[in-house]
Structure 1
Amino acid sequence: MTNYEVRANIRVVFGDGALNELPTLLERHHPKSILLVSSGDYVDDLGIGDAVRQAADSLGATLIEDRGVVPNPRLEHVRELIETAKAHNVDFLLAAGGGSAVDTAKSVAIGLAAPEGTDVWDYFTVGHAVEQVPTLKVGVINTLPGTGSEVGRSAVLTNLATKEKFGVEANNLRPVFTIVDPAFSRTVPQHFQAAAIADEIAHLIETYTADDTDVDITDRLLEGALAGALTNAAKYADDPADDNARKQLHQISLYQHYLNFDRNSDWAGHPIEHVISGDYDLLHGEGLAIVTVAWLRFIAAHKPTKLVQLVSRLYHVDAVTFSEEQVVRGFADHLEALYGRLGLPTKLSAYGIGQEGVDIVAAKVTAGGARTVGNYYALSQEDVRALLSAAL
């Protein structure tokens, strides 16, 4: 078990009518100028736009709205929003949507706090410490369960010009409040929700996979969360209108980031996927559906022990009758079948990615072989190449 410190000063309001608490939640932070970031007009269809406008009016705050958020938040868009926020003296950021809206708001918060002459992208590439800048507060109205960004301390940004996608983590990026009314996710396009589910499942598997000992309590919590994610993903695949399934997926999305403090988790899948979606602009969950299944099969042959524990506890698989590799490969097969039901391909070729693309991804994520990726099993450039080649 690793030593850890938890700082999570966030209010979560969950349930039917949760949006009614928005004026009270905003009032605690005394905003004078609010920037609302979202994607398209669906926030108005859900009544979120009107609720935000009424809350801003009741507080005497100016409201600036931007609907330009896209999957894989864009650096250029964030730069534009930073200038907009400066021009309107914005002092509070509000995101309505899923992980892309939240990460956009967090990235704007970083850029607004950056010293003169420092670009927001420097915090994602050069290594400037985000916690050393006084970022603006971010609030969230969540409409898509899966990413966990609505309560998390990370943000991911994509630079289309350089085909790079990087993330940062800092405690001051954690939102100060998150509103979750599961009714808002009813209108999410099925494919976007499916991709978010793949992200949620990947978080839990990557978090679980670690060499740390004396972590049985969080092992059990992660096993329960993953069992819930898999069960409710299947229910969602059968009936996207299943309110209870979406409520459970929202719950898991909220709690997943509080189960990784005591371990040195693997986290190979996410950086590999970031390179893929940075190059090919896949949805994050689309890439993770491919990478997670491929990674499980690779680890099954090289270091299956921790995952054998996971699968044995989830499915009561007999690890005596079957080899450790068979146990983990069986789980990979099960996950691939689930993703098929959700309409998520698990082959790179489905997105026009061939061997040349695999070679580029393997080289990028390992800096041309200068570094490895993953903590539980350190993947070399050739390992990443082999792992992804098997998913062509």
Structure 2
Amino acid sequence: MDNFIYSIPTTAYFGKGQIKVLGETIKTYGGSKVLLAYGGGSIKKNGIYDAVIEQLDKADLARVELSGIQPNPRIESVEEGIDLFRRNGCDFILAVGGGSTLDACKAIAAGVEFDGPATDLFVNESGLSPIYDAAPLATILTMAGTGSEMDMGAVITVGEDHKKKVVMHPLLNPRFSILDPEYTFSVPEYHSMAGAADILCHLMEQYFTNDVAAKVQDRMNEGVMKVVLEDAVKILANPQDYDARANIMWASSMALAGFQFLLGKPSPTFPLHGMGHELSSMYDMTHGVTLALLTPAWMRHTISAAPEHLPIFARFARNVFDIREEDDAKAAEQGVARLVEFYAAIKMPANLRDAGVREEDLAVIAGKAVENGKLGILASLGKDEVLQILRAAFTG
């Protein structure tokens, strides 16, 4: 196992009624005037907005609002937020929503202290954004999936070709996050299940890295994957199942908390995210759905292209799906088949064609996915390999 440093500076306030800590906790971090950011307005329909305003008023905190942050958040929302923060003398950012709002606010937090355009905030050759300071940020999570409430990264959509780019720095870890599972009760079924697919992919892309001796990380990861598989279907049956919502919400947070399941492992390139982002860019497709569509095809390609890593896929099948097949190749294939069954059970599209992807776009998507270099860690993925995976995912 490689050396590592582990730090999660974000405090999580988890459970019912934790909104009560909001105002005073912001003040402990020096906040007096808050940039309150949210998306399309669902929080005004489900009562979360009123609860937030009540707590801000109770603590005598002034506020400025940034609304309308889009799914797959655009750089324009980031620029608008930076301008609002600066012009109004804000000193704290509060993101209320799902991953898109949280990601936009991380980029805003980086941008308000940055001497340059927002388009220069993205990671450079160091693997981090070129920032030296950031505004303090807190989050109130309303949809489980991205894990942005407990990590230091964000993905922002840029330009006419809707390219996904990454902002990442330890300074962008939220100071605190409020995680109330009841706030996810009203999330539509489709988005709840897409979030579950996103969580599962975060876990899998940290699991399928290399067969190094990181047993603690992998066994913990397997346990969280099993929870996602079990509790996502419970939410389908009863959207107000508090325990199922709580487990999925905490799985979302734990999946990327300090990238804990990568500790001691080689750093991967998250190939499924690299390909999935291009589907989202071209079709404005929900992020988690893209991952569900691509994962089985990627697994089968990797098993074929890098058979020396077959034991990892067999271990996944046995430890996550409880498959009792002694032959590694048969066990691995049964694991992929069970994963496909899970995606069908949570009502993900069966293939790219059913999701509305045009076959003639596959080569373009493959090229865009590797614009910044090859993907993958178990098997290297250039344009040809990505195209093979896309073609397999097109028909399912």
Q: Name the TM-score class by shorter chain.
A: over 0.9
Relative to structure 1, the CA distance from residue 58 to residue 178 in structure 2 (aligned partners, 3 Å threshold; closer, same or farther) is same
Find the counterpart in structure 1 of residue 78 from structure 2.
78
> For the Cα contact (< 8 Å) 1:293–1:346, is it kept in 2?
no
The correspondence for 2:261, drawn from 235, 259, 262, is: 259
Aligned residue runs from structure 1 range 217-228, under 5 A: 217-228=216-227
Which piece of structure 1 moves more, 348-357 or 218-227?
Answer: 348-357
Relative to structure 1, the CA distance from residue 5 to residue 126 in structure 2 (aligned partners, 3 Å threshold; closer, same or farther) is closer
Relative to structure 1, the CA distance from residue 6 to residue 13 in structure 2 (aligned partners, 3 Å threshold; closer, same or farther) is same
> For the Cα contact (< 8 Å) 1:78–1:108, is it kept in 2?
yes
Which piece of structure 1 moves more, 92-101 or 341-350?
Answer: 341-350
Partner AA of 1:328 in structure 2: A
Query: Deviation digits for residues 345-382 of structure 1, max 9, x if unmatched?
Result: 14111233233221111111222xx8310122211211
Root-mean-square deviation over aligned CA pairs: 1.9
Structure 2 Cα separation of the partners of residues 133 and 10 of structure 1: 19
Partner AA of 1:202 in structure 2: C
Find the counterpart in structure 1 of residue 316 from structure 2.
310
Structure 2 Cα separation of the partners of residues 163 and 228 of structure 1: 34
- Is the partner of 1:113 in helix, strand or coil? coil
- Is the partner of 2:262 in helix, strand or coil? coil
Relative to structure 1, the CA distance from residue 238 to residue 329 in structure 2 (aligned partners, 3 Å threshold; closer, same or farther) is farther
Aligned residue runs from structure 1 range 223-372, under 5 A: 223-257=222-256, 258-264=260-266, 266=268, 267-303=270-306, 304-320=310-326, 322-324=327-329, 326-367=330-371, 371-372=373-374
Partner AA of 1:192 in structure 2: H
CA shift at 1:26, angstroms?
0.9
Query: Deviation digits for residues 59-115 of structure 1, max 9, x if unmatched?
Result: 433211122022101111211221122111121110111111100110111221210
CA shift at 1:125, angstroms?
6.4
Find the counterpart in structure 2 of residue 104 from structure 1.
104
1:386 counterpart = 2:388: yes
Runs of 5+ unmatched residues, structure 1: none
> For the Cα contact (< 8 Å) 1:73–1:158, is it kept in 2?
yes
- Is the partner of 1:70 in helix, strand or coil? coil
Q: Percent identity?
A: 28
Structure 2 Cα separation of the partners of residues 238 and 302 of structure 1: 39
> For the Cα contact (< 8 Å) 1:96–1:141, is it kept in 2?
yes
Query: Deviation digits for residues 168-217 of structure 1, max 9, x if unmatched?
Result: 32111110100011111000111111111110000111111121522111
Structure 2 Cα separation of the partners of residues 125 and 29 of structure 1: 27
> For the Cα contact (< 8 Å) 1:296–1:329, is it kept in 2?
no
> For the Cα contact (< 8 Å) 2:323–2:335, is it kept in 1?
no
> For the Cα contact (< 8 Å) 1:160–1:278, is it kept in 2?
no
Query: Deviation digits for residues 209-241 of structure 1, max 9, x if unmatched?
Result: 121522111111011011111111222233333
Query: Deviation digits for residues 102-146 of structure 1, max 9, x if unmatched?
Result: 00110111221210xx22122226668536321101100111112
Aligned residue runs from structure 1 range 50-65, under 5 A: 50-65=50-65
Which piece of structure 1 moves more, 352-361 or 274-283?
Answer: 352-361
Structure 1 Cα separation of the partners of residues 34 and 57 of structure 2: 11
Which piece of structure 1 moves more, 376-385 or 185-194?
Answer: 376-385
Find the counterpart in structure 1 of residue 196 from structure 2.
197
> For the Cα contact (< 8 Å) 2:139–2:174, is it kept in 1?
yes
Find the counterpart in structure 2 of residue 121 from structure 1.
119
Find the counterpart in structure 2 of residue 187 from structure 1.
186
CA shift at 1:335, angstroms?
1.9
